[in-house]
Structure 1
């Protein structure tokens, strides 16, 4: 069974207030889809906001493929949208009935994380 991949990163909360755009610790975790054929897009990413117990911040779960495609251009799936913001940043948005929440990442950090997920989902042919 392929192993889950976990990486601690920092993300910036995107708000309409200049004072609130703070950097927060987050954890990205990739879990290969159980029983799925190994390959790209087979599994979900869980984005957890660390250090905020009791604040009611739910984990965000979205397909790995959404994050990969969103680094190249705007994409959405369900409640989530991912899009590049300039050449070095990417934004992950979560929409629900009443709010939109956005976090911004360095693309380089996301690419490093995504590279780690390939061995977890795709066998390396030699």
Structure 2
């Protein structure tokens, strides 16, 4: 069984101009990093012209599809009956995208089949994590 889930989604980029542009994005969940999800945007969709990927808590995404969640670099909240807003805050500015809530729920459901919520700690390699931490400080 695969330990990684990737799902393509269409995100609507909210710009300062009164139009919305659709950009491709990829949601990713890896059982080896069971608490996190990532959302990646291809080079044409970014200001820098390089792929940009944001990693954040799976729990933040799960909470944010139903109610506003997050107060840091990534914030998630419902928008209307079928969209979810994901905000990415960086020193350069804020990127705001709308994603269909049903796509996010499908992705979250697939990740739950891989690692059920509340059992993430069972999928961590504690020896590897400790070794990496000790190497960082040696």
TM-score of Structure 1 vs Structure 2, range by shorter chain:
0.7 to 0.9
Within a 5 Å distance, the mapping from 1:57-96 to structure 2 comes to: 57-96=51-90
Give the Cα separation in 1 of the matches to 2:40 and 2:90. Answer: 17
Shift in Å, 1:16? 2.0
SS in 1 for 2:70: strand
**Greater helix proportion:** 2
> Counterpart in 1 of 2:133?
none
Give the Cα separation in 1 of the matches to 2:71 and 2:5. Answer: 22
Q: Supply the RMSD in Å over aligned alpha carbons.
A: 2.2
Instruction: Tell which has more relative contact order, 1 or 2 (C-alpha 8 A, sep 6+).
Output: 1
Q: Runs in 1 of length 4+ with deviation above 4 angstroms?
A: none
Larger Rg: 2
1:48-92: per-residue Cα shift (whole Å, max 9, x none)? 113638603521111110000001111115311000011111010
> Counterpart in 2 of 1:26?
25
Shift in Å, 1:44? 1.0
**TM-score if structure 2 supplies the norm length?**
0.74
Return 5+ residue gaps in structure 1 as ranges: 35-41
**TM-score if structure 1 supplies the norm length?**
0.80
> Is 2:42–2:51's contact at 8 Å kept on the other side of the alignment?
no
Give the Cα separation in 1 of the matches to 2:57 and 2:32. Answer: 10
> Counterpart in 2 of 1:39?
none
Number of equivalences: 115
> Is 2:43–2:49's contact at 8 Å kept on the other side of the alignment?
no
